[in-house]
């Protein structure tokens, strides 16, 4: 196997502590979280105490000022633990960076330390019933009225939505200008007129509180605007490479985990009086899957290096997102097949991994949209490119 060169001994020590946390504080509760459809807020506070939230934020905002590789470790270990209930990655590495990069000092001081301690849970609300891939057609508005914005509209499919204490809302501040009239505003769950709809029942990610959100004349102080008015789309584009890499990092880690569970299974399982592992089909299939996972691992690690050097472009990150999430789905499907009927049983980790993996091809920009981005970078603009 090609050795990984990204991590130092400190990262590996951190990895051990995340692994222990997953065993002690996450696994014992995960079945219950999946049944209830959300995780207990308690685990967020415990994660905060351990320094697992917003660890790449500077210390003055409650983080550890750590490099992004610590966040990579967290994502990999969550995947390895087969946990899909915790929305930590979105909270720490999508919502918090928007606040940090574009928020006014007063906003950062107000929210980031509480996000790092797990007192407040963050979400980002882009998608609407009529606007997912086509974010330009967002209908939610944030109209300036003196020192406030009046926010109206609704959002759907929002990760951490039901538990959220603060939400970055993508809204039109100048609806006539389309994408160029889009802004990002921070809505606090304590604001009047903000309400949460039902938790959405999903085929996977069952412990994650994906929800609808509603905004009915919510008065948001002008200081809650991120960056400059009407620049929201530019900010969304700037954060894309890291957001897409997060899906790729989880996808490769989950594919590797699925292969390791399957190797264990085929060694134990006997068919026709012999271990399942002794059949050529089993060995060849797992050899193929391990090869593909290895190719993906090397590509993703290189993308992470480029990201750390601030050289990763959106098209390459889109390649990583699309290709690894497709691969993850295929690998998990093949691994499930090798489990036979047991692979279809919920008590086997591969069953949960199978339903959880599907969404990776849809969220964070669908894989079709990734191909749009990649082809545009090749000078192949479509009718709308």
- Dist CA 285 CA 18 (whole Å): 31
Write down the catalytic residue from 76, 243, 256, 372. 243
- DSSP annotation of 92: I
Residue (308 or 369) nearer to ligand FAD, CB: 369
Does 243 qualify as catalytic in the annotation?
Answer: yes
> Which residues sit at the interface with ligand FAD, rule CB under 6 A?
124-127, 132-133, 157-159, 202, 205, 210, 359, 362-363, 365-366, 368-369, 372
Least Å from the CB of residue 294 to ligand FAD: 28
Give which of 77, 160, 59 is closest to 116, Cα–Cα. Answer: 59
Q: In the bound complex, which residue of the shown chain has the CB atom lying closest to ligand FAD?
A: 132
Residue (158 or 307) nearer to ligand FAD, CB: 158
Least Å from the CB of residue 371 to ligand FAD: 8
Least Å from the CB of residue 123 to ligand FAD: 6
Residue (78 or 282) nearer to ligand FAD, CB: 78
Helix (H), strand (E), coil (C) string for 266-298 = HHHCEECCEEHHHCHHHHHHHHHHHHHHHHHHH
Strand partners, 215: 153, 194
Least Å from the CB of residue 39 to ligand FAD: 15
- Distance set, CA 38 to CA 32, 125, 137, 159 (Å): 9, 18, 30, 10
The answer to whether 168 and 226 have CB atoms below 8 angstroms apart is yes
- Dist CA 258 CA 262 (whole Å): 6
Strand partners, 56: none
Residue (66 or 125) nearer to ligand FAD, CB: 125
Catalytic residues: 243
């Amino acid at each position: 196997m090609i050795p990984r060169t990204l991590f130092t001994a400190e990262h590996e020590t951190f990895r051990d502590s995340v692994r222990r946390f997953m065993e002690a504080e996450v696994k014992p509760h995960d079945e219950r979280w999946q049944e209830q459809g959300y995780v207990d807020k308690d685990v967020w506070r415990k994660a905060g105490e351990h320094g697992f939230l917003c660890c790449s934020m500077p210390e003055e905002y409650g983080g550890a000022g750590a490099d992004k590789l610590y966040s990579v470790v967290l994502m990999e270990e969550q995947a390895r633990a087969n946990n899909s209930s915790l929305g930590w990655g979105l909270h720490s590495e999508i919502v918090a960076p928007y606040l940090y990069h574009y928020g006014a000092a007063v906003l950062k001081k107000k929210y980031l330390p509480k996000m790092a301690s797990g007192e407040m849970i963050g979400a980002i609300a882009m998608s609407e019933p009529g606007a997912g891939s086509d974010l330009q057609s967002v209908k939610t508005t944030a109209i300036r009225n003196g020192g406030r914005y009046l926010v109206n509209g609704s959002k759907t499919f929002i990760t951490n939505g039901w538990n959220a204490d603060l939400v970055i809302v993508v809204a039109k501040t100048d609806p006539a200008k389309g994408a160029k009239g889009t802004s990002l505003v921070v809505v606090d769950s304590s604001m009047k007129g903000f309400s949460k709809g039902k938790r959405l029942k999903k085929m996977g990610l069952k412990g994650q509180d994906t929800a609808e959100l509603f905004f009915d004349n919510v008065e948001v102080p002008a200081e809650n605007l991120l960056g400059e008015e009407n620049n929201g789309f530019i900010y969304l584009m700037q954060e894309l490479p890291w957001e897409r890499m997060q899906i790729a990092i989880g996808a490769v880690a989950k594919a590797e985990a699925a292969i390791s569970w399957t190797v264990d299974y085929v060694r134990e399982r006997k068919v026709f009086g012999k271990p399942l592992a002794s059949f050529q089909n089993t060995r060849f299939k797992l050899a193929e899957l391990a090869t593909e996972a290895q190719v993906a691992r090397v590509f993703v690690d290189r993308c992470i290096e480029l990201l750390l050097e601030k050289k990763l472009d959106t098209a390459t990150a889109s390649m990583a997102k699309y290709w690894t999430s497709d691969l993850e789905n295929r690998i998990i499907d093949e691994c499930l097949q090798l489990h036979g009927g047991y692979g279809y049983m919920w008590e086997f980790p591969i069953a949960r991994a199978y339903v959880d993996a599907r969404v990776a091809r849809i969220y964070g920009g669908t894989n079709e949209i990734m191909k749009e981005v990649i082809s545009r970078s090749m000078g192949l603009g479509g009718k709308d490119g």
